[in-house]
């Protein structure tokens, strides 16, 4: 996975220290925000609107002219800001949301909120879809339907040089591991810790953080020995943080076996069938015309690509 040409907020946070963690990113950024003429926007593929796809949208979205996208920034390479303290987002989900909006003939806002607040925002009618590198799992499908758009595994992110010599999930027994709260990784770590204890081994000390950047910082500061994360995000972090000098990847089959990996999807309310169908067909159009793959290639993650936009195909 190659490094993207933009600095992320998280990289800047790590270089500035923990004091930078107290400020929250802006709550809402739209495609028409200042900075849209930046190099990020200029690099996006041109997408033509499709009137037939526009007609599939729910009336409320056609009338408003916007799809409200709930997301959680930063989570590179899925979503991040182009500069520290900036308001212009970039990343896989941002670029794809803009391409989907363009294909559907509407604007796509990109609205930051807490990770555990995204699904409730959909349920409360405060957002239309979730795009946050979110795994399509049976548990989440109790609340949402998913338009699937990528397939990913799991890896361990450790400090450069792997000072603890971690090789697979068995090595996490008795170790401190960082995680973002309310994620599938958090639940899997808790389950792994209980398994260790049932086998008479030390469990895992889990450090839970509200944001992705705090979890990275805990490894850099030595408070945690690892972060278990989707391979696309972990590999991107290993390549880009401190010019590749902060972290490295431990990619063992046992990690994906334990943590599941699988399909990532765009979350839509189960009652929002018209929007789900419109998104599915728009995504398929972007796949067929090559725009989708160009977006993934921009972040060096072509290997997570799907060829068909399907519904609810994820597993645990």
Predicted local confidence at residue 182, as pLDDT: 86
Inside any domain, residue 72: yes
Contact, 90 vs 6, CB < 8 A? yes
The CA distance from 149 to 126, in Å, is 23
Q: Is 3 inside any structural domain?
A: no
Eight-class DSSP state of 97: H
Query: 74 and 220: one domain?
Result: no
Burial of 92 (0-12, 13-18, 19+ CB in 10 A): buried
Rounded to whole angstroms, the Cα distance separating 264 from 137 reads 9
By the 8 A CB rule, do 181 and 215 touch?
Answer: no
Residue 85 sits in a domain of what CATH number? 3.40.190.10
Indicate whether 70 and 164 sit together in one domain.
Answer: no
Supply 106's token pair: 């509407």
User: 313 in a domain, yes or no?
Assistant: no
Domain contains 78? yes
DSSP label at 111? E
53/194 same-domain check: no
Residues 26 and 139 in one domain: yes
Q: Are residues 172 and 252 in the same domain?
A: yes
Q: For the chain, what is the domain count? A: 2
Q: What is the pLDDT of residues 7-43, one digit of tens each?
A: 333 333 333 222 222 223 333 333 333 223 233 333 4
pTM score:
0.74
Whole-angstrom Cα distance, residue 54 to residue 275? 10
Local structure of 229: helix, strand or coil: strand
For 289, residues 6+ apart whose C-beta sits below 8 A from its C-beta are none
* 1 is a domain residue: no
| Residue 115 sits in the same domain as residue 15 | yes
**Domain range for 74:** 9-151+263-304
User: Are 169 and 94 contained in the same domain?
Assistant: no
Could you read off the pLDDT of 285-310 as tens digits, one per residue?
A: 999 999 999 999 998 888 899 999 99
Question: Quick one: 162 and 281 in the same domain?
Answer: no
* CA dist list (Å): 5 to 86, 180, 243, 310, 314: 16, 26, 11, 31, 31
Name residues whose C-beta falls within 8 Å of residue 63's C-beta, 6 or more positions apart in sequence.
none
Out of 15-19, 64-68, 77-81, 228-232, least confident range: 15-19
């Amino acid at each position: 996975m190659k490094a993207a040409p933009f600095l992320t907020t998280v990289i800047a946070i790590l270089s500035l220290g923990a004091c930078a963690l107290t400020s929250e990113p802006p709550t809402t950024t739209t495609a028409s925000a200042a900075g849209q003429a930046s190099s990020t926007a200029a690099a996006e593929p041109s997408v033509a609107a499709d009137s037939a796809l526009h007609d599939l949208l729910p009336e409320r979205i056609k009338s408003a002219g916007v799809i409200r996208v709930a997301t959680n920034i930063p989570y590179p390479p899925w979503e991040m800001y182009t500069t520290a303290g900036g308001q212009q987002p970039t990343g896989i989900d941002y670029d794809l949301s803009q391409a989907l909006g363009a294909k559907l003939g509407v604007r796509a806002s990109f609205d930051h909120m807490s990770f555990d607040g995204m699904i409730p925002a959909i349920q409360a009618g405060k957002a239309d879809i979730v795009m946050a590198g979110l795994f399509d799992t049976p548990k989440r499908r109790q609340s949402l339907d998913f338009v699937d758009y990528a397939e990913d595994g799991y890896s361990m992110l450790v400090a450069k040089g792997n000072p603890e010599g971690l090789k697979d999930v068995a090595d996490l027994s008795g170790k401190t591991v960082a995680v973002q709260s309310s994620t599938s990784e958090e639940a899997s770590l808790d389950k792994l810790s209980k398994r260790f204890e049932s086998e008479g081994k030390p469990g895992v000390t889990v450090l839970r953080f509200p944001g992705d950047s705090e979890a990275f910082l805990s490894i850099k500061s030595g408070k945690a020995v690892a972060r278990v994360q989707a391979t696309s995000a972990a590999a991107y972090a290993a390549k880009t943080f401190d010019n590749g000098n902060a972290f490295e990847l431990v990619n063992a089959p046992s990690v994906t076996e334990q943590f599941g990996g699988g399909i990532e999807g765009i979350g839509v309310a189960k009652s929002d069938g018209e929007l789900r169908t419109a998104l599915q067909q728009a995504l398929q159009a972007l796949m067929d015309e090559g725009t989708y793959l160009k977006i993934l290639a921009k972040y060096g993650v072509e290997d997570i690509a799907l060829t068909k936009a399907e519904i609810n195909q994820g597993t645990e």
